[in-house]
């Protein structure tokens, strides 16, 4: 009884077989079918390799939301070299919300030589080249995000030569914390002093002939310092054409949360617009000579996440490639055989077309002449 039930179950499973087997004696192979199969297998192998390459790759997903964090401090990372002696310049931040000078105790004033060494000039040229490519190819920013913490630091390398020239410039570097509101970081003549109605700089003791705000921005970023990330102003160099010249940078800072397979950090991206002009009160161009960076905080926050194709999606796409190529090549091969049979069939019929045979009574016969044994001799 158990064997009978097993046999019925086996017969039922055979009836449900959606892939019936054809005996090999009924299968006919051809050279054209083998050629098409070879092309199909080659195409499948090529597309499978390409699909696996896509599966291994990752892409960046951007999501936007309102930034609700108003209490935390904003970190500003600064590394700027000004072509003036350190005792002649001062840097500070004016917080526009509270109209007060933010503390700039985290900044270091270091006397240096303004001209770069050959190795440093090569570094600057490479950084400027990357900046120009980033302006043309915005997708390169995704590559930089994914390679963060993997590449070397983008800081200016130390001098490799022992320059005997006396320091003629001042390198202002370090970091400071400000409130997450619009502000103005500036470098101008004289040290900053507190004032009840704002702030002021001791510039009266510095002659105008000493003014030279030619500068180089080796690094400027907001938020957590991430080695490998290239910011829009890194590598910028400006040469002043006049003693009384103002350089202005209008910066829009966007809070950014970066989540990749290598790091997870909270940083800030920013865009910048540059302007420079000569201060000439007689011509109506008023202002103060110096370097002014006016920044504003965006109300939107960007979350950048590195994503990867799921394995199940890779399998579905792979099955689609294999099945689609087999189906397509089968249809094309069948259509080609049909066209070839039609053409060769008409050719054969034309070769056996009936001929007219004249008869003695003047009539013609359209029948093919019989082939007899005598006619073959």
290-297 and 245-259 strand pairing: parallel
Predicted pLDDT of residue 376: 45
Give the residue among 90, 75, 98 at the shortest CA–CA distance from 176: 75
Q: Which residue has the tokens 């303004």?
A: 114
Tell the burial category of 234 from Cβ atoms under 10 Å away from its Cβ (0-12, 13-18, 19+): buried
Beta bridge partners of 110: 171
Tell the burial category of 296 from Cβ atoms under 10 Å away from its Cβ (0-12, 13-18, 19+): middle
Tokens of 77: 């990372």
Q: Which helix (H) or strand (E) holds 291?
A: strand 290-297
Check pLDDT > 50 for residue 127.
Answer: yes
Q: What's the mean pLDDT in 249-257?
A: 92
Check pLDDT > 70 for residue 27.
Answer: no
Check pLDDT > 50 for residue 372.
Answer: no
pLDDT in tens, 198-216: 677 776 677 777 788 999 9
58-66 and 300-308 strand pairing: antiparallel
Q: Which residue has the tokens 């002014």?
A: 292
pLDDT in tens, 287-318: 788 899 999 998 889 998 888 888 898 899 98
pLDDT confidence bin for 377, thresholds 50/70/90: very low
- 0.75 exceeded by pTM: no
Q: What's the mean pLDDT in 146-162?
A: 67
Phi–psi pair at 136, nearest 5 degrees: -90, -40
Q: Cα 291 to chain center, whole Å? A: 32
Radius of gyration, alpha carbons of the chain: 40
From CA 273, how far away is CA 246, in angstroms rounded?
A: 14
């Amino acid at each position: 009884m158990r064997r009978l039930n097993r046999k019925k179950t086996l017969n039922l499973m055979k009836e449900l077989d959606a892939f019936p087997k054809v005996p090999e004696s009924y299968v006919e192979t051809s050279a054209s079918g083998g050629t098409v199969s070879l092309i199909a297998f080659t195409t499948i192998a090529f597309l499978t390799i390409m699909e696996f390459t896509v599966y291994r790759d990752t892409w960046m997903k951007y999501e936007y939301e309102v930034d609700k964090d108003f209490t935390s401090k904003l970190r500003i990372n600064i590394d700027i070299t000004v072509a003036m002696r350190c005792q002649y310049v001062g840097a500070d931040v004016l917080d526009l919300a509270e109209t007060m000078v933010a503390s700039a105790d985290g900044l270091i004033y270091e006397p240096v030589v303004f001209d770069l060494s050959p190795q440093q000039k090569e570094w600057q040229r490479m950084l400027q080249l990357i900046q120009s490519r980033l302006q043309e190819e915005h997708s390169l920013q995704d590559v930089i995000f994914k390679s963060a913490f993997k590449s070397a630091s983008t800081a200016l390398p130390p001098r490799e030569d022992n320059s005997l020239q006396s320091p003629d410039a001042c390198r202002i570097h370090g970091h400071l914390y400000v409130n997450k509101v619009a502000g103005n970081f500036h470098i101008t003549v004289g040290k900053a002093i507190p004032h009840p109605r704002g702030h002021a700089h001791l510039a009266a003791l510095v002659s105008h002939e000493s003014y030279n705000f030619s500068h180089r921005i080796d690094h400027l970023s907001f938020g957590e310092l991430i080695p490998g990330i290239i910011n829009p102003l890194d590598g910028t160099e400006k040469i002043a054409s006049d003693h009384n010249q103002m350089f202005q940078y209008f910066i829009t800072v966007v809070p950014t949360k970066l989540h990749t397979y290598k790091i997870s950090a909270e940083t800030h991206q920013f865009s910048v617009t540059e302007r420079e002009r000569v201060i000439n009160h007689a011509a109506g161009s008023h202002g103060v000579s110096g370097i002014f960076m006016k920044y504003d905080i965006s109300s939107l926050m960007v979350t950048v996440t590195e994503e990867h194709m799921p394995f199940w999606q890779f399998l579905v796409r792979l099955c689609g490639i294999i099945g689609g190529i087999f189906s397509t090549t089968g249809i094309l091969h069948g259509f080609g055989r049909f066209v070839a049979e039609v053409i060769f069939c008409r050719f054969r019929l034309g070769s056996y077309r009936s001929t007219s045979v004249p008869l003695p009574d003047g009539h013609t016969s359209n029948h093919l002449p019989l082939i007899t044994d005598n006619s073959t001799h």
